[in-house]
């Protein structure tokens, strides 16, 4: 430590410049030490762990123990878990527990990553926040290991701020929410009006019920330029001698005046942007505090110097956590403005830097991440149904949980704001994809073990076909068409009772010498159907039996691109009970759609377009992984279109092929549109009323950004509605900008978007995230794929140019009809796309028999149409539901690797509709949980929990913040949420309710888990309201 004998002299010299009148109360500065540690981006997780991330926790823990006044907030938990499990010593673990208990170390957010807020689905955001497994990430790990529950967010690097996030964080029990990356012009306005702090009501239906105090970091963001002394991390490994070159010059008696001036000036500038005398001053940046001794040994004397002259300098400074800062702000008791459910999207950092390109970057990774999430969702409920009411002995539950945990980890990891966004380097993309693929393989093996018969899969006999097990993961009866690829054209499909099943066979559109087999199926909620698929000697027409009918293909010659002109003379049509689709023979393009419900024909044309991007910085701004910066309006990249119509009794497929040049043999783009020929009857409405489209896009030429543009006769006036993370819709009015207007009017579409006029609405439902915009009246365009390169040195050095040469196959479903009809169908149809039935195939030999086993006989799980089973899972947490008892357990013994508790089932229900959105489906729904779950056994106890499961729902209390609006406007009429009443619960519009379900145990399950106390014997918590959970006395 350097000498302080020279301080009086320095003080007199330095303070001459601060002799102007100061406020009576000095500005109280809360210095919050942190390190932003991306879970991927340029370097892989293991590379970052070796180079700096492990050292952050090792050196921070050491330095916090040396001085009691020091503080630190830990954010991205994936690195902490890797350090805790594989590096930390027993002594360091004890120190971490001590630092948490004394509030010198604080976990904020508490999820595995700092998740993306734009293209991530809210189901996956909840997953990464929760951590649904013993010994995995998330709130579950923090609570199980330390007994702590995060209360503050730190979403400071997500590229825009969604209105879904504050709602989720409020449901998780957070007191306050911190964001940073919002539009540069809006942030400037908010700074000048002292509007960077407000109460945010993210959901219009939940209103004040789930509001949260929100703090926007000012223009300096989360970095403290000029105050980082621990140097620059060295990749791939830290230097052997542990010597790093410091970023900032170490503090000495010769330069203390410079640092004091720098900090005081910065504080006083920033203080004018806030309404209280309390200033949050983030100290740190990316990859900081890996040598925490240098950081604190320089900052300590600086803070001491300022505090010794606080009255003259006009500020006081202290190390702090977010809890320290927000407690001070809350105690100030100011009245705050209310920000309603609008979001902060899109994000632009300047007029020419619209961060809207990443909505479509690395389309293949986005698709894989969503498929992995859907598979995990299905695997969770399938395993839960397997375990209840009685598990079978052939499957090891510990192995099963491990397979689920691996995929939980991978899906959570890819929600990082540099992962699912597609903004990472190729090697990091490979890391995400490998983790997802490995996790998916394990869950597929688990599901196969559950549903397949116990006989060996191999046989000496020649296979004669396939057996298929189809599982419906939704809690509704689903009627749909599942598609399989087979190697024979004549096929018979029978169900588990030996009855013939309606099916259709046709040549595969992707694989030569293969066939697409389409099978019509109706499956109750969380249930199975079993099918035998056998090669036969005839078709349905030849045998006059209900089997696989052979579709007939009609080929239409290529048509050259022609100038726009009225086209209605040479039309052909494809129809079902809901739509008639008209196609123009002169162009091979879509012409219009007649919708039966409204008896209206809407002109609809679809074509692929490309935006061209600049590659050379000498000529202007460039598009990259993050930013969309087109040179001009989109151009047609094709010169001719071919078409096939594959017509069958079960469905008709329209295949349109787009060729760059008239004479090209291979097409770059394709649209495959399907209409199902099913009666418009109860149960098949969702199938009839959707036009399913799959696209082929790529490989693209360099510096092209590909869109699908749908132009209609709807007069939407360039008003678009797109979703926030699949949870709620936002109205997007086209904004006129003096520059970069195309890019700044793009928005994320995580799951759905629509345009409408007074009579009709066109809905797009997506299987993965894309960018979406309405650039002209009646138009909606979706960005599907990007391939870019530029000569920016930094991008070249780190391989961040997005030279994506892949071919991608995005999927959209279209709904067209009156607003009332599409409102009723949009949510459920989106879930049908997101969670399609899972098909598990194996070879079938001549002697194979499909005999329904006990699992097939379980009663279906069925919810009312406005409710969605968001999760049914066995998380494996092994902590007591009673908080006081859990803390006592932790004091007695620091929990080691305990056995997973398989008896606790996590149930989460979501009301799909907004208040007032639909006269019937927007009504509150009362649910009897015993009746819904009777197929799993007899419910013995039900506890309502917080979103992440770590709080008793009756004892969770969040801070209340005064607002500037009258009390009667605070949403009391909308805050209908009612407590659990026995086994019945009433769920109101947009509510997400989380429960622990305890079924009456059985010996086979009890033997497979760690011993635990029965719920009835738990001691009551000190918090008021305990005991309101329902328990069966039987």
Write a three-state SS string for 75-94: CCHHHHHHHHHHCCCHHHHH
22 CB neighbour count, 10 Å cutoff: 16
* Residues 596 and 578: beta-carbon distance below 8 Å: yes
Which of 852, 857, 860, 845 is CA-nearest to residue 453? 852
* CA separation for the pair 414, 137 (Å, rounded): 13
pLDDT value at 832 more than 90:
yes
pLDDT computed for residue 979 by the predictor: 76
How many angstroms separate the CA atoms of 529 and 471, rounded? 7
HSE of 324, CA atoms in CB hemisphere, 13 A: 25
Kindly state the DSSP code that residue 338 receives in the 8-state scheme. Answer: E
The per-residue pLDDT for range 892-951, each reduced to its tens digit, is 865 555 677 888 999 999 999 999 999 999 999 999 999 999 999 999 999 999 999 999
Count CB atoms within 10 A of the CB of residue 943: 22
Point out which residues pair with 944 in neighbouring strands. 995
**What does the block give as tokens for 575?**
């129809």
The predicted pLDDT at position 341 comes to: 80
Q: What is the pLDDT of residue 670?
A: 98
396-405, 701-710, 967-976: the lowest-pLDDT one: 967-976
Query: 563 burial class (0-12, 13-18, 19+ CB within 10 angstroms)?
Result: exposed
| Alpha carbon 60 to its chain's center | 31
What is the sign of the dihedral through the CA atoms of 381, 383, 384 and 390? Answer: positive
20 dihedral zone (left: phi>0; alpha: psi -120 to 50; beta): beta
Q: How confident is the model over 786-811, as a mean pLDDT?
A: 95
* Distances from the Cα of 890 to the Cα of 144, 343, 616, 896, angstroms: 9, 41, 59, 10
Helices assigned H by DSSP within 862-963: 883-892, 929-932
pLDDT tops 90 at residue 685 = yes
Q: What percent of the chain has pLDDT over 70?
A: 88
Secondary structure element (H or E) that encloses residue 299, with its range: helix 292-308
Comparing 340 with 919, which gets the higher pLDDT? 919
Query: Which pLDDT score is estimated for 132?
Result: 58
8 Å CB contact between 52 and 238: yes
The token duo for 108 is 């904020």
Query: Is the confidence at residue 619, as pLDDT, over 90?
Result: yes
Q: Which residue has the higher pLDDT, 66 or 880?
A: 66
pLDDT value of position 188 = 97
Residue 793 bears catalytic tag: no
**In angstroms, how far is CA 884 from the centroid of its own chain?**
33
Contact status, residue 228 vs residue 251, Cβ threshold 8 Å: no
pLDDT tens per residue, range 834-844: 999 999 998 87
Q: Is 572 helix (H, G, I), strand (E, B) or coil?
A: strand
Q: Could you give the strand order of the β-sheet that contains 838-845, starting from the edge strand earlier in sequence?
A: 491-495, 527-535, 463-472, 838-845
Q: Does 52 have pLDDT greater than 70?
A: yes
Structural tokens at position 175: 């007191």
Give the gyration radius of the chain's Cα atoms: 30
DSSP state of 990: T
Contact (Cβ atoms closer than 8 angstroms) between residue 345 and residue 744: no
Mean predicted confidence (pLDDT) in 310-322:
97
Q: Mutual orientation of helices 139-146 and 122-130 as an angle, nearest 10°?
A: 20
**The two three-digit tokens of residue 998, written as one number:** 């305890």
CA-based angle 224:227:231, to the nearest 5? 110
pTM over 0.85: yes
Beta strand residue intervals within 272-313, DSSP E:
278-283
pLDDT digits (tens, 9 = 90+) for 215-250: 999 999 999 999 999 888 888 877 776 666 667 889
Q: Which residues contact 83 (CB under 8 A, 6 or more apart)?
A: 49, 53, 54, 57, 58
Catalytic residue among 124, 157, 230, 418, which? 157
Q: Do 547 and 539 meet the contact criterion of CB atoms below 8 Å apart?
A: yes
Q: Average pLDDT for residues 780-806, to the nearest whole number?
A: 95
* In the predicted structure, residue 713 carries a pLDDT above the cut 50: yes
Model pLDDT, residue 2? 42
Q: Which of 896, 875, 866, 871 is nearest to 950 (CA)?
A: 875
Q: pLDDT higher for 11 or 461?
A: 461
pLDDT score of 5: 36
Tokens of 861: 């799980």
Least confident range of 114-128, 693-707, 1004-1018: 1004-1018
| Six token digits for residue 677 | 């020929």
**Which of 330-344, 534-548, 587-601 is predicted least confidently?**
534-548
Q: What is the mean pLDDT of residues 386-412?
A: 90
Q: What end-to-end distance do the CA atoms of the chain give, in Å?
A: 68
* Structure token digits, residue 431: 């890391």
Partners of 592 in the β-ladder: 582, 603
CA gap 683, 828 in Å, rounded: 12
Q: CA 507 to CA 86: how far, in whole Å?
A: 52
Four-residue CA torsion sign, 143, 148, 149, 155: negative
Q: Report the chain's mean pLDDT, rounded to a whole number.
A: 89
DSSP code per residue over 812-837: EEEEEE-HHHHHHHHHHHHHHHHTPP
CA-CA distance, 706 to 804, in Å (whole number)? 12
- Statement: residue 142 has pLDDT above 70: yes
Instruction: Identify whether the C-beta of residue 174 lies closer than 8 Å to the C-beta of residue 153.
Output: yes
875 CB-side CA count, 13 A: 32
For residue 922 the two structure tokens come to: 């927007």
Q: Provide the pLDDT for residue 466.
A: 87
**Residue 549: closest CA among 502, 481, 516:** 502
Query: What tokens were used for 549?
Result: 């009918």
């Amino acid at each position: 430590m350097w000498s302080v004998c020279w301080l009086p002299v320095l003080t007199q010299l330095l303070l001459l410049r601060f002799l102007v009148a100061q406020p009576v109360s000095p500005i109280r500065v809360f210095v919050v030490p942190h390190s932003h540690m991306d879970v991927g981006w340029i370097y892989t997780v293991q590379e970052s762990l070796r180079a700096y991330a492990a050292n952050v926790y090792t050196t921070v823990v050491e330095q916090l123990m040396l001085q009691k006044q020091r503080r630190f907030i830990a954010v991205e938990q994936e690195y902490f878990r890797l350090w805790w499990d594989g590096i930390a010593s027993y002594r360091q673990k004890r120190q971490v527990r001590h630092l948490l208990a004394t509030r010198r170390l604080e976990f904020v957010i508490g999820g595995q990553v700092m998740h993306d807020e734009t293209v991530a689905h809210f189901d996956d955001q909840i997953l990464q926040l929760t951590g649904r497994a013993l010994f995995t990430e998330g709130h579950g790990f923090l609570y199980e290991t330390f007994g702590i529950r995060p209360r503050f967010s730190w979403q400071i690097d997500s590229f825009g701020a969604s209105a879904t996030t504050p709602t989720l964080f409020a449901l998780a029990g957070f007191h306050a929410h911190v964001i940073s990356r919002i539009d540069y012009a809006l942030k400037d306005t908010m700074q000048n009006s002292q509007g960077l702090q407000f109460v945010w009501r993210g959901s219009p239906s939940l209103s004040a019920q789930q509001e949260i105090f929100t703090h926007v970091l000012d223009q300096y963001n989360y970095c403290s330029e000029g105050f980082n002394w621990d140097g620059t991390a060295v990749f791939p490994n830290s230097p052997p001698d542990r010597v790093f070159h410091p970023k900032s010059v170490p503090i000495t008696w010769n330069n203390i005046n410079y640092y004091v001036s720098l900090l005081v000036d910065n504080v006083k500038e920033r203080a004018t942007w806030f309404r209280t005398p309390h200033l949050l001053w983030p100290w740190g940046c990316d990859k900081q505090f890996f040598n925490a001794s240098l950081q604190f040994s320089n900052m300590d004397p600086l803070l001491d110097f300022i505090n010794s002259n606080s009255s003259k300098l006009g500020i006081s400074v202290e190390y702090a956590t977010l809890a320290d800062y927000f407690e001070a702000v809350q105690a100030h008791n100011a009245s705050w403005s209310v920000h309603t459910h609008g979001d902060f999207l899109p994000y632009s950092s300047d007029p020419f830097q619209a961060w809207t390109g990443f909505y479509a970057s690395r389309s293949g990774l986005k698709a894989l991440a969503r498929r992995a999430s859907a598979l995990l969702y299905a695997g969770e409920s399938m395993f839960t149904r397997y375990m209840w009411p009685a598990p079978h002995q052939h499957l090891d539950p510990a192995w099963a949980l491990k397979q689920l945990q691996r995929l939980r980890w991978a899906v959570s990891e890819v929600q990082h704001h540099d992962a699912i966004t597609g903004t990472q380097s190729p090697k990091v993309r490979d890391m995400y994809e490998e983790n997802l693929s490995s996790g998916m393989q394990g869950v597929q093996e688990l599901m196969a073990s559950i549903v397949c018969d116990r006989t060996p899969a191999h046989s000496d006999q020649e296979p004669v076909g396939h057996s298929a097990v189809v599982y419906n993961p939704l809690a509704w009866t689903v009627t749909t068409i599942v598609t399989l690829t087979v190697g024979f054209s004549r096929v018979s499909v029978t169900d588990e009772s030996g009855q013939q099943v309606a099916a259709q066979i046709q040549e595969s559109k992707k694989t030569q010498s293969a066939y697409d087999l389409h099978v019509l199926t109706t499956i109750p909620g969380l249930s199975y159907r079993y099918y035998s698929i056998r090669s036969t000697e005839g078709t349905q027409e030849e045998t006059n039996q209900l089997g696989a009918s052979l579709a007939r293909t009609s080929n239409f010659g290529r048509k050259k691109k022609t100038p726009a002109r009225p086209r209605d003379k040479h039309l052909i049509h494809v129809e079902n009970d809901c739509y008639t689709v008209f196609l123009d023979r002169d162009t091979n393009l879509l012409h219009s759609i007649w919708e039966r419900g409204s008896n209206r024909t809407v002109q609809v044309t679809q074509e692929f377009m490309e935006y061209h991007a600049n590659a050379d910085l000498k000529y202007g701004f460039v598009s990259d992984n993050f930013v969309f910066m087109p040179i001009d309006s989109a151009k047609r990249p094709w010169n001719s279109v071919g078409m096939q119509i594959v017509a069958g009794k079960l469905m008709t497929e329209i295949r349109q092929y787009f060729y760059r040049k008239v004479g090209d043999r291979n097409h770059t783009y394709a649209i495959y549109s399907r209409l199902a020929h099913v009666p418009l009857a109860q149960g098949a409405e969702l199938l009839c009323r959707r036009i399913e489209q799959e696209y082929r896009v790529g490989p693209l030429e360099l510096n092209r950004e590909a869109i699908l543009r749908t132009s209609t006769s709807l007069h939407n006036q360039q008003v678009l509605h797109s979703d926030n993370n699949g949870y709620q819709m936002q109205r997007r009015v086209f904004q006129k900008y003096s520059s970069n207007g195309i890019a700044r009017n793009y928005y994320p579409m995580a799951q759905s978007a629509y345009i409408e006029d007074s009579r009709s609405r066109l809905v797009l439902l997506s299987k993965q995230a894309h960018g979406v915009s309405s650039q002209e009246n009646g138009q909606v365009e979706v960005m599907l794929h990007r391939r870019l390169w530029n000569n920016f040195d930094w991008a070249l050095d780190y391989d961040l140019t997005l030279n994506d040469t892949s071919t991608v196959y995005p999927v959209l479903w279209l709904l067209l009809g009156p607003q009332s009809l599409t409102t009723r169908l949009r949510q459920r149809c989106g879930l049908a796309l997101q969670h399609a039935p899972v098909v598990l195939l194996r070879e079938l030999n001549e002697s194979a028999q499909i005999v329904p086993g006990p699992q097939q006989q379980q009663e279906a799980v069925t919810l009312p149409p406005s409710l969605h089973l968001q999760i049914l899972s066995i998380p494996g947490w092994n902590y007591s539901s009673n908080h006081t008892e859990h803390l006592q357990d932790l004091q007695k013994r620091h929990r080691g690797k305990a056995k997973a508790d398989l008896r606790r089932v996590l149930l989460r229900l979501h009301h799909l509709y907004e208040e007032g959105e639909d006269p019937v489906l927007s009504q509150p729904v009362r649910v009897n949980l015993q009746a819904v779950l009777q197929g799993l056994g007899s419910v013995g106890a039900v506890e309502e929990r917080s979103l992440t499961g770590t709080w008793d729902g009756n004892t969770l209390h969040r801070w209340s913040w005064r607002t500037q609006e009258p009390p009667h406007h605070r949403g009391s009429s909308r805050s209908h949420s009612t407590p659990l009443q026995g086994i019945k619960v009433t769920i109101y519009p947009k509510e997400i309710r989380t429960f622990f379900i305890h079924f009456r145990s059985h010996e086979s399950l009890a033997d497979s888990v760690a011993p635990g106390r029965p719920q009835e014997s738990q001691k009551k918590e000190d918090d008021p309201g305990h005991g309101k959970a329902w328990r069966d006395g039987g």
